[in-house]
Chain A
Protein backbone atom coordinates (compact mmCIF):
# COMPACT_ATOMS: atom_id res chain seq x y z
CA UNK A 1 0.00 0.00 0.00
CA UNK A 2 1.19 3.48 -0.83
CA UNK A 3 2.37 5.22 2.30
CA UNK A 4 2.23 8.91 1.55
CA UNK A 5 -0.01 11.66 2.70
CA UNK A 6 -2.93 12.52 0.43
CA UNK A 7 -3.03 15.99 1.96
CA UNK A 8 0.26 17.74 2.53
CA UNK A 9 1.62 18.31 6.04
CA UNK A 10 1.73 21.68 7.77
CA UNK A 11 4.53 23.12 9.90
CA UNK A 12 2.46 24.97 12.49
CA UNK A 13 -1.26 24.91 13.04
CA UNK A 14 -4.28 22.67 13.59
CA UNK A 15 -5.48 19.51 11.86
CA UNK A 16 -9.11 18.48 12.21
CA UNK A 17 -9.30 14.80 11.37
CA UNK A 18 -12.12 12.22 11.18
CA UNK A 19 -14.82 14.63 10.10
CA UNK A 20 -17.79 12.85 8.43
CA UNK A 21 -17.53 13.83 4.72
CA UNK A 22 -21.10 15.15 4.59
CA UNK A 23 -20.35 17.53 7.46
CA UNK A 24 -17.19 19.10 6.02
CA UNK A 25 -18.88 22.21 4.73
CA UNK A 26 -20.87 22.62 7.95
CA UNK A 27 -17.61 22.49 9.92
CA UNK A 28 -16.15 25.13 7.61
CA UNK A 29 -19.26 27.18 8.23
CA UNK A 30 -19.29 26.83 12.03
CA UNK A 31 -15.63 27.75 12.34
CA UNK A 32 -16.07 30.64 9.91
CA UNK A 33 -13.21 29.40 7.74
CA UNK A 34 -14.62 30.85 4.53
CA UNK A 35 -13.34 34.26 5.60
CA UNK A 36 -10.02 33.13 7.06
CA UNK A 37 -6.81 34.30 5.37
CA UNK A 38 -4.72 31.39 6.72
CA UNK A 39 -3.39 28.72 4.37
CA UNK A 40 -5.82 25.80 4.47
CA UNK A 41 -6.22 22.42 2.83
CA UNK A 42 -9.49 20.55 2.77
CA UNK A 43 -9.71 16.90 1.86
CA UNK A 44 -12.82 14.81 1.64
CA UNK A 45 -13.92 11.25 0.90
CA UNK A 46 -10.53 10.03 2.09
CA UNK A 47 -10.28 6.44 3.37
CA UNK A 48 -10.78 6.07 7.11
CA UNK A 49 -10.61 2.95 9.28
CA UNK A 50 -12.91 4.64 11.79
CA UNK A 51 -15.58 6.12 9.51
CA UNK A 52 -15.07 4.39 6.14
CA UNK A 53 -14.77 7.78 4.48
CA UNK A 54 -13.67 10.94 6.17
CA UNK A 55 -12.87 14.56 5.62
CA UNK A 56 -9.89 16.48 6.96
CA UNK A 57 -9.03 20.15 7.44
CA UNK A 58 -5.51 21.51 7.89
CA UNK A 59 -5.12 25.12 8.90
CA UNK A 60 -1.68 26.69 9.10
CA UNK A 61 -0.81 29.06 11.94
CA UNK A 62 -4.21 28.89 13.56
CA UNK A 63 -5.05 27.51 17.00
CA UNK A 64 -8.60 27.37 18.31
CA UNK A 65 -9.98 27.97 21.76
CA UNK A 66 -11.64 24.87 23.22
CA UNK A 67 -14.98 26.67 23.39
CA UNK A 68 -14.84 27.42 19.68
CA UNK A 69 -13.66 24.03 18.51
CA UNK A 70 -16.17 22.20 20.71
CA UNK A 71 -18.98 23.72 18.70
CA UNK A 72 -18.33 21.20 15.94
CA UNK A 73 -19.01 18.34 18.37
CA UNK A 74 -22.69 18.73 17.44
CA UNK A 75 -22.11 17.51 13.90
CA UNK A 76 -18.75 15.73 14.04
CA UNK A 77 -18.52 14.21 17.52
CA UNK A 78 -15.75 11.78 16.53
CA UNK A 79 -13.48 14.42 15.05
CA UNK A 80 -9.91 14.54 16.42
CA UNK A 81 -8.02 17.76 16.85
CA UNK A 82 -4.24 17.65 16.36
CA UNK A 83 -2.07 20.59 17.32
CA UNK A 84 1.05 20.77 15.14
CA UNK A 85 4.36 22.41 16.04
CA UNK A 86 7.32 22.05 13.72
CA UNK A 87 5.61 19.24 11.71
CA UNK A 88 5.03 17.20 14.90
CA UNK A 89 1.74 16.47 16.63
CA UNK A 90 2.31 17.99 20.07
CA UNK A 91 -1.25 17.60 21.38
CA UNK A 92 -4.34 15.56 20.51
CA UNK A 93 -7.72 16.73 21.66
CA UNK A 94 -11.07 15.01 21.78
CA UNK A 95 -14.22 17.04 21.43
CA UNK A 96 -16.73 17.41 24.17
CA UNK A 97 -20.24 18.69 23.68
CA UNK A 98 -20.60 22.12 25.31
CA UNK A 99 -23.26 22.59 28.01
CA UNK A 100 -24.77 25.49 26.10
CA UNK A 101 -24.82 26.37 22.41
CA UNK A 102 -25.16 30.01 21.40
CA UNK A 103 -26.07 30.69 17.79
CA UNK A 104 -24.93 28.10 15.19
CA UNK A 105 -28.07 25.95 15.33
CA UNK A 106 -31.61 26.78 14.26
CA UNK A 107 -34.50 25.89 16.59
CA UNK A 108 -36.68 23.32 14.83
CA UNK A 109 -39.90 24.78 16.28
CA UNK A 110 -41.40 26.87 13.44
CA UNK A 111 -43.28 29.13 15.87
CA UNK A 112 -40.24 29.82 18.08
CA UNK A 113 -39.46 33.53 18.42
CA UNK A 114 -35.89 32.90 17.18
CA UNK A 115 -37.25 31.93 13.77
CA UNK A 116 -39.19 35.19 13.38
CA UNK A 117 -37.25 37.99 15.05
CA UNK A 118 -33.56 38.88 15.10
CA UNK A 119 -32.84 36.82 18.23
CA UNK A 120 -29.70 34.68 18.54
CA UNK A 121 -30.58 31.08 19.40
CA UNK A 122 -29.48 29.62 22.73
CA UNK A 123 -29.70 25.97 23.75
CA UNK A 124 -28.73 23.78 26.64
CA UNK A 125 -27.52 20.34 25.57
CA UNK A 126 -29.06 17.25 27.14
CA UNK A 127 -28.33 13.56 26.64
CA UNK A 128 -31.42 11.38 26.69
CA UNK A 129 -30.93 7.63 26.20
CA UNK A 130 -27.62 8.33 24.49
CA UNK A 131 -29.21 10.78 22.05
CA UNK A 132 -28.17 14.41 22.00
CA UNK A 133 -30.95 16.98 22.29
CA UNK A 134 -30.84 20.75 22.27
CA UNK A 135 -33.32 22.41 24.58
CA UNK A 136 -34.30 25.89 23.39
CA UNK A 137 -33.85 28.60 26.02
CA UNK A 138 -36.77 30.52 24.51
CA UNK A 139 -39.57 28.18 23.43
CA UNK A 140 -38.49 25.30 25.74
CA UNK A 141 -38.82 22.76 22.91
CA UNK A 142 -36.15 20.15 22.14
CA UNK A 143 -34.36 19.89 18.82
CA UNK A 144 -33.14 16.32 18.35
CA UNK A 145 -29.77 15.37 16.89
CA UNK A 146 -31.11 14.37 13.50
CA UNK A 147 -32.95 17.69 13.13
CA UNK A 148 -29.94 19.89 13.81
CA UNK A 149 -29.73 22.57 11.13
CA UNK A 150 -26.72 24.85 11.02
CA UNK A 151 -27.21 28.58 10.63
CA UNK A 152 -24.72 29.70 8.01
CA UNK A 153 -21.86 31.83 9.31
CA UNK A 154 -21.49 33.69 6.02
Chain B
Protein backbone atom coordinates (compact mmCIF):
# COMPACT_ATOMS: atom_id res chain seq x y z
CA UNK B 1 0.00 0.00 0.00
CA UNK B 2 1.39 3.42 -0.88
CA UNK B 3 2.38 5.52 2.11
CA UNK B 4 2.10 8.90 0.33
CA UNK B 5 0.20 10.42 -2.56
CA UNK B 6 2.72 12.45 -4.52
CA UNK B 7 2.10 11.57 -8.14
CA UNK B 8 -0.81 9.78 -9.78
CA UNK B 9 1.68 7.03 -10.76
CA UNK B 10 1.99 6.16 -7.06
CA UNK B 11 -1.52 4.69 -7.09
CA UNK B 12 -2.23 1.44 -8.92
CA UNK B 13 -5.55 0.76 -10.58
CA UNK B 14 -6.66 -1.05 -7.40
CA UNK B 15 -5.62 1.89 -5.21
CA UNK B 16 -7.58 4.27 -7.45
CA UNK B 17 -10.71 2.11 -7.34
CA UNK B 18 -10.31 1.80 -3.59
CA UNK B 19 -10.29 5.61 -3.20
CA UNK B 20 -13.35 5.97 -5.44
CA UNK B 21 -15.22 3.34 -3.44
CA UNK B 22 -14.41 5.13 -0.18
CA UNK B 23 -15.34 8.50 -1.69
CA UNK B 24 -18.80 7.15 -2.58
CA UNK B 25 -19.19 5.98 0.99
CA UNK B 26 -18.23 9.43 2.35
CA UNK B 27 -20.66 11.08 -0.02
CA UNK B 28 -23.51 9.05 1.52
CA UNK B 29 -22.40 10.02 5.02
CA UNK B 30 -20.14 13.11 4.83
CA UNK B 31 -19.58 13.55 8.55
CA UNK B 32 -17.60 10.62 9.89
CA UNK B 33 -15.34 11.76 12.74
CA UNK B 34 -13.13 8.66 12.57
CA UNK B 35 -9.98 10.77 13.03
CA UNK B 36 -11.06 12.85 16.05
CA UNK B 37 -7.74 11.97 17.70
CA UNK B 38 -5.60 13.05 14.73
CA UNK B 39 -3.87 16.28 13.79
CA UNK B 40 -3.51 17.08 10.11
CA UNK B 41 -1.06 19.73 8.89
CA UNK B 42 -2.12 21.78 5.90
CA UNK B 43 0.95 23.67 4.76
CA UNK B 44 0.58 25.91 1.73
CA UNK B 45 3.79 27.60 0.60
CA UNK B 46 1.79 29.39 -2.06
CA UNK B 47 -1.85 30.40 -1.82
CA UNK B 48 -4.55 28.18 -3.29
CA UNK B 49 -7.90 28.94 -1.73
CA UNK B 50 -9.90 26.30 -3.58
CA UNK B 51 -7.63 23.33 -2.92
CA UNK B 52 -6.86 24.33 0.66
CA UNK B 53 -10.51 24.79 1.64
CA UNK B 54 -11.43 21.50 0.01
CA UNK B 55 -8.71 19.59 1.89
CA UNK B 56 -9.40 21.33 5.19
CA UNK B 57 -13.12 20.66 4.85
CA UNK B 58 -12.30 16.99 4.22
CA UNK B 59 -10.05 16.87 7.31
CA UNK B 60 -12.70 18.57 9.46
CA UNK B 61 -15.45 16.27 8.26
CA UNK B 62 -13.27 13.37 9.36
CA UNK B 63 -13.06 14.93 12.81
CA UNK B 64 -9.35 15.77 12.62
CA UNK B 65 -7.85 18.99 13.99
CA UNK B 66 -6.08 21.07 11.33
CA UNK B 67 -2.90 23.10 11.82
CA UNK B 68 -0.88 24.92 9.18
CA UNK B 69 -0.42 28.03 7.12
CA UNK B 70 -1.91 29.30 3.89
CA UNK B 71 1.00 31.39 2.67
CA UNK B 72 4.74 31.09 3.32
CA UNK B 73 5.00 34.85 3.96
CA UNK B 74 4.61 34.85 7.75
CA UNK B 75 6.47 31.62 8.47
CA UNK B 76 10.03 30.55 9.22
CA UNK B 77 10.41 29.92 5.47
CA UNK B 78 10.74 33.66 5.01
CA UNK B 79 13.61 33.51 7.53
CA UNK B 80 15.41 31.11 5.18
CA UNK B 81 14.47 27.76 6.70
CA UNK B 82 14.94 24.89 4.26
CA UNK B 83 12.00 22.71 3.19
CA UNK B 84 13.65 19.76 4.90
CA UNK B 85 13.70 21.49 8.28
CA UNK B 86 10.11 22.69 7.95
CA UNK B 87 8.93 19.17 7.10
CA UNK B 88 10.99 17.61 9.93
CA UNK B 89 9.35 19.98 12.38
CA UNK B 90 5.80 19.59 11.07
CA UNK B 91 6.04 15.80 10.90
CA UNK B 92 6.86 15.84 14.62
CA UNK B 93 3.53 17.53 15.29
CA UNK B 94 1.05 16.08 12.81
CA UNK B 95 -0.20 12.64 11.77
CA UNK B 96 -0.43 13.60 8.08
CA UNK B 97 0.81 16.48 5.95
CA UNK B 98 -1.01 18.13 3.06
CA UNK B 99 1.42 20.31 1.14
CA UNK B 100 1.34 22.76 -1.74
CA UNK B 101 4.66 24.21 -2.90
CA UNK B 102 5.66 26.20 -6.00
CA UNK B 103 8.75 24.09 -6.81
CA UNK B 104 8.41 20.91 -8.86
CA UNK B 105 9.47 17.76 -7.05
CA UNK B 106 9.12 19.42 -3.64
CA UNK B 107 6.38 17.00 -2.56
CA UNK B 108 8.45 13.92 -3.47
CA UNK B 109 11.34 15.33 -1.48
CA UNK B 110 9.06 16.13 1.48
CA UNK B 111 7.79 12.53 1.46
CA UNK B 112 11.38 11.30 1.76
CA UNK B 113 12.05 13.53 4.74
CA UNK B 114 8.72 13.17 6.53
CA UNK B 115 7.94 10.53 9.15
CA UNK B 116 4.20 10.76 8.40
CA UNK B 117 2.21 10.42 5.14
CA UNK B 118 2.40 13.36 2.70
CA UNK B 119 -0.32 14.35 0.23
CA UNK B 120 0.79 16.51 -2.67
CA UNK B 121 -1.70 19.34 -3.11
CA UNK B 122 0.23 20.63 -6.11
CA UNK B 123 3.99 20.98 -6.74
CA UNK B 124 4.35 23.74 -9.31
CA UNK B 125 3.26 22.61 -12.75
CA UNK B 126 4.15 19.00 -11.99
CA UNK B 127 1.47 16.95 -10.20
CA UNK B 128 -1.84 17.52 -8.46
CA UNK B 129 -3.05 13.96 -7.91
CA UNK B 130 -6.10 14.68 -5.75
CA UNK B 131 -7.54 16.70 -8.66
CA UNK B 132 -7.11 13.67 -10.91
CA UNK B 133 -8.82 11.36 -8.43
CA UNK B 134 -11.76 13.71 -8.05
CA UNK B 135 -12.00 13.93 -11.84
CA UNK B 136 -12.17 10.14 -11.99
CA UNK B 137 -14.75 10.08 -9.23
CA UNK B 138 -16.86 12.61 -11.15
CA UNK B 139 -16.55 10.63 -14.37
CA UNK B 140 -17.54 7.41 -12.67
CA UNK B 141 -20.41 9.03 -10.83
CA UNK B 142 -21.92 10.66 -13.93
CA UNK B 143 -21.38 7.73 -16.30
CA UNK B 144 -21.94 4.86 -13.88
CA UNK B 145 -18.57 3.41 -14.89
CA UNK B 146 -15.04 4.32 -15.92
CA UNK B 147 -14.47 1.87 -18.76
CA UNK B 148 -14.74 2.39 -22.52
CA UNK B 149 -15.68 6.08 -22.38
CA UNK B 150 -15.05 8.69 -25.04
CA UNK B 151 -13.36 11.73 -23.55
CA UNK B 152 -12.86 15.01 -25.41
CA UNK B 153 -10.10 16.99 -23.72
CA UNK B 154 -10.13 20.66 -24.71
CA UNK B 155 -7.83 23.63 -24.24
CA UNK B 156 -4.27 23.77 -22.98
CA UNK B 157 -3.06 20.23 -23.55
CA UNK B 158 0.59 21.23 -23.61
CA UNK B 159 1.08 22.69 -20.13
CA UNK B 160 -2.09 21.54 -18.35
CA UNK B 161 -0.95 19.19 -15.59
CA UNK B 162 -4.54 18.07 -14.88
CA UNK B 163 -4.78 16.86 -18.48
CA UNK B 164 -1.54 14.87 -18.32
CA UNK B 165 -2.44 13.19 -15.04
CA UNK B 166 -5.99 12.52 -16.22
CA UNK B 167 -4.88 10.63 -19.29
CA UNK B 168 -2.36 8.64 -17.30
CA UNK B 169 -4.97 7.66 -14.73
CA UNK B 170 -7.68 6.95 -17.33
CA UNK B 171 -5.26 4.71 -19.24
CA UNK B 172 -6.25 1.89 -16.85
CA UNK B 173 -9.83 1.97 -18.16
CA UNK B 174 -9.55 1.65 -21.98
CA UNK B 175 -10.85 5.10 -22.96
CA UNK B 176 -10.92 6.77 -26.38
CA UNK B 177 -9.57 10.32 -26.41
CA UNK B 178 -10.19 13.31 -28.61
CA UNK B 179 -7.61 16.04 -28.09
CA UNK B 180 -8.91 19.48 -29.03
CA UNK B 181 -6.30 22.21 -28.86
CA UNK B 182 -4.90 25.16 -30.81
CA UNK B 183 -1.64 24.50 -32.63
CA UNK B 184 0.46 26.16 -29.88
CA UNK B 185 -1.02 24.05 -27.10
CA UNK B 186 -1.15 20.56 -28.62
CA UNK B 187 -0.50 17.48 -26.52
CA UNK B 188 3.27 16.80 -26.25
CA UNK B 189 4.66 13.75 -28.07
CA UNK B 190 5.70 11.96 -24.89
CA UNK B 191 2.02 11.55 -23.91
CA UNK B 192 1.05 10.37 -27.38
CA UNK B 193 3.80 7.75 -27.22
CA UNK B 194 2.51 6.71 -23.81
CA UNK B 195 -1.03 6.24 -25.18
CA UNK B 196 0.25 4.32 -28.20
CA UNK B 197 2.25 2.01 -25.94
CA UNK B 198 -1.02 1.23 -24.13
CA UNK B 199 -3.02 0.81 -27.37
CA UNK B 200 -5.36 3.64 -26.44
CA UNK B 201 -6.99 5.20 -29.53
CA UNK B 202 -7.02 9.00 -29.89
CA UNK B 203 -7.58 11.67 -32.50
CA UNK B 204 -6.48 15.29 -32.61
CA UNK B 205 -8.23 18.40 -33.85
CA UNK B 206 -8.09 22.16 -33.51
CA UNK B 207 -11.79 22.60 -34.20
CA UNK B 208 -13.61 23.12 -30.91
CA UNK B 209 -16.88 21.29 -31.62
CA UNK B 210 -15.31 18.42 -33.61
CA UNK B 211 -15.66 15.85 -30.81
CA UNK B 212 -18.69 17.18 -28.96
CA UNK B 213 -21.48 15.01 -30.40
CA UNK B 214 -19.55 11.81 -29.81
CA UNK B 215 -18.22 12.46 -26.34
CA UNK B 216 -19.31 11.05 -22.98
CA UNK B 217 -17.16 13.61 -21.19
CA UNK B 218 -15.95 17.01 -22.37
CA UNK B 219 -13.04 17.98 -20.17
CA UNK B 220 -12.45 21.73 -20.56
CA UNK B 221 -9.30 23.49 -19.39
CA UNK B 222 -8.25 27.09 -19.17
CA UNK B 223 -6.18 28.63 -21.95
CA UNK B 224 -3.74 30.94 -20.19
CA UNK B 225 -2.45 34.18 -21.62
CA UNK B 226 1.12 33.59 -20.42
CA UNK B 227 1.43 30.47 -22.62
CA UNK B 228 1.37 32.56 -25.79
CA UNK B 229 4.30 34.43 -27.27
CA UNK B 230 1.95 36.37 -29.54
CA UNK B 231 -0.79 38.29 -27.65
CA UNK B 232 -2.95 38.60 -30.77
CA UNK B 233 -2.87 34.84 -31.17
CA UNK B 234 -4.03 34.50 -27.57
CA UNK B 235 -7.02 36.79 -28.17
CA UNK B 236 -7.96 34.80 -31.25
CA UNK B 237 -7.71 31.41 -29.53
CA UNK B 238 -9.49 32.65 -26.40
CA UNK B 239 -12.49 33.70 -28.47
CA UNK B 240 -12.54 30.53 -30.56
CA UNK B 241 -12.22 28.20 -27.56
CA UNK B 242 -15.36 29.30 -25.82
CA UNK B 243 -18.05 26.69 -25.33
CA UNK B 244 -21.65 27.93 -25.35
CA UNK B 245 -25.08 26.35 -25.06
CA UNK B 246 -25.86 26.36 -28.79
CA UNK B 247 -22.96 23.97 -29.41
CA UNK B 248 -24.56 21.29 -27.24
CA UNK B 249 -27.76 20.64 -29.22
CA UNK B 250 -26.70 17.28 -30.65
CA UNK B 251 -24.56 15.94 -27.84
CA UNK B 252 -25.30 12.63 -26.09
CA UNK B 253 -27.82 12.87 -23.23
CA UNK B 254 -25.31 11.38 -20.76
CA UNK B 255 -22.56 13.82 -21.75
CA UNK B 256 -21.13 15.90 -18.90
CA UNK B 257 -18.80 18.89 -19.03
CA UNK B 258 -15.97 18.89 -16.50
CA UNK B 259 -13.56 21.72 -15.73
CA UNK B 260 -10.91 21.84 -12.96
CA UNK B 261 -11.87 25.52 -12.34
CA UNK B 262 -11.40 28.44 -12.17
CA UNK B 263 -12.89 29.08 -15.59
CA UNK B 264 -12.45 32.35 -17.40
CA UNK B 265 -14.41 32.48 -20.61
CA UNK B 266 -13.90 28.98 -22.00
CA UNK B 267 -17.41 28.05 -20.80
CA UNK B 268 -20.15 30.63 -21.33
CA UNK B 269 -22.53 31.29 -18.42
CA UNK B 270 -25.50 30.06 -20.45
CA UNK B 271 -24.09 26.53 -20.11
CA UNK B 272 -24.25 26.58 -16.30
CA UNK B 273 -27.96 25.68 -16.12
CA UNK B 274 -27.79 22.94 -18.72
CA UNK B 275 -27.99 19.26 -17.71
CA UNK B 276 -24.55 18.82 -19.18
CA UNK B 277 -22.79 21.24 -16.82
CA UNK B 278 -21.08 19.34 -14.05
CA UNK B 279 -18.11 21.50 -13.00
CA UNK B 280 -19.57 22.78 -9.73
CA UNK B 281 -20.63 19.30 -8.56
CA UNK B 282 -17.18 18.17 -9.64
CA UNK B 283 -15.66 20.62 -7.15
CA UNK B 284 -18.00 19.31 -4.44
CA UNK B 285 -16.88 15.76 -5.20
CA UNK B 286 -13.40 16.97 -4.32
CA UNK B 287 -14.23 16.96 -0.62
CA UNK B 288 -15.38 13.31 -0.63
CA UNK B 289 -12.42 12.24 -2.72
CA UNK B 290 -9.99 14.02 -0.40
CA UNK B 291 -11.65 12.43 2.63
CA UNK B 292 -11.05 9.08 0.95
CA UNK B 293 -7.40 9.89 0.23
CA UNK B 294 -6.79 10.94 3.84
CA UNK B 295 -8.55 7.84 5.15
CA UNK B 296 -6.58 5.57 2.83
CA UNK B 297 -3.22 7.03 3.86
CA UNK B 298 -4.06 7.02 7.56
CA UNK B 299 -5.01 3.37 7.12
CA UNK B 300 -8.58 3.36 8.34
CA UNK B 301 -11.63 1.75 6.71
A residues whose Cβ falls under 8 Å from a Cβ of B: 109, 111-114, 116-119, 136-142
B207 to chain A, nearest CB (A): 31
Q: Does any Cβ of A come within 8 Å of B285's Cβ?
A: no
| B297 interfacial contact with A, CB 8 Å | no
Q: Which residues of A contact B125 (CB under 8 A)?
A: 111
Contacts of B127 in A (CB 8 A): 140
A112 and B105 contact, CB distance less than 8 A:
yes
Question: What DSSP secondary structure best describes chain A's contact surface?
Answer: loop
For the complex with contacts A118-B84, A139-B105, A140-B126, 17 further pairs of A-B residues with Cβ separation under 8 Å are: A111-B124, A112-B103, A112-B104, A112-B105, A113-B101, A113-B103, A113-B104, A114-B105, A117-B84, A119-B105, A136-B105, A138-B108, A140-B7, A140-B104, A140-B105, A140-B127, A141-B104
Q: Does B180 contact A (CB under 8 A)?
A: no
B104 contacts A117, CB within 8 Å?
no
Determine the chain B residues whose CB is within 8 A of the CB of A136 once the complex forms.
105
A137 CA / B106 CA spacing, docked (Å): 11
CB under 8 Å from chain A, chain B span 117-135: 123-127
Contacts of A139 in B (CB 8 A): 104-105, 123-124, 126
Question: Within the assembled complex, what's the spacing in Å between the Cα atoms of A142 and B84?
Answer: 24
Q: Are A138 and B105 in contact (CB under 8 A)?
A: yes
**A111-B84 contact, Cβ under 8 Å, with A137-B108, A140-B7, A140-B127:** no
Q: In this assembly, does B102 line the interface, its C-beta being within 8 Å of a C-beta of chain A?
A: yes
Least CB distance, A150 to chain B, in whole angstroms: 20
Residue ID in chain B nearest A109 by CB atoms: B104
Question: Is the interface on chain B under 10, 10 to 19, 20 to 34, or 35 or more residues?
Answer: 10 to 19
Instruction: Choose from A109, A111, A114, A138 the contact partner of B102 (Cβ within 8 Å).
Output: A111
B109 contacts the other chain (CB 8 A) = yes
How far does the alpha carbon of A142 sit from the alpha carbon of B124 in the complex, in Å? 16
- A residues near B126, Cβ cutoff 8 Å: 139-141
Q: Are A113 and B105 in contact (CB under 8 A)?
A: yes
Query: In the complex, A87→B103 CA distance in Å?
Result: 53
Tell me if A116 and B7 are in contact (CB < 8 A).
Answer: no
Q: Is there a chain A Cβ closer than 8 Å to B83's Cβ?
A: yes
In angstroms, Cα B124 to Cα A140, docked, is 12
How far is it, in angstroms, between the C-alpha of A104 and the C-alpha of B124 when the chains are bound? 24
- Is B239's CB within 8 Å of the partner chain A? no
In the bound complex, how far is the Cα of B33 from the Cα of A19, in angstroms?
64
Is B82 in the interface zone, CB < 8 Å from A?
Answer: yes
Greatest chain A CB density within 10 A among B7, B103, B125, B190 is at: B103
What residue in chain A is nearest B83 (Cβ atoms)?
Answer: A117
Query: With the chains together, A142 CA to B189 CA distance in Å?
Result: 13
Q: Is the CB of B82 within 8 A of A113?
A: no
In the complex, what distance in Å separates the CA atom of A138 from the CA atom of B82? 16
List 10 contacting pairs A-B, 8 Å CB cutoff, sorted by A: A111-B102, A112-B103, A113-B109, A116-B103, A119-B105, A139-B124, A139-B126, A140-B104, A140-B126, A140-B127
**What's the nearest-Cβ distance from chain B to residue A145, in Å?**
16
Please give the distance in Å from B162's CB to the nearest CB on chain A.
Answer: 15
Q: Please indicate the chain A residues that have their CB under 8 angstroms from the CB of B124 in the complex.
A: 111, 139
CA–CA, A16 and B124, complex, Å: 42
In the bound complex, CA of A126 to CA of B251 (Å):
42
A137 to B111, CA, bound (A): 12
Residue among B82, B102, B123, B190 making CB contact with A117, cutoff 8 Å: B82
Looking at the assembled complex, report how far the CB atom of A80 sits from the nearest CB atom of chain B, in whole angstroms.
Answer: 34
List the B side residues contacting A117 at CB < 8 Å.
82-84, 103, 106, 109
Assembled-state Cα–Cα distance A142/B191 (Å): 13
* B190 to A, closest residue via Cβ: A142
Partner of B109, one of A111, A138, A140: A138
Knowing A140-B7, A140-B127, say if A118 contacts B82 (CB, 8 Å).
yes
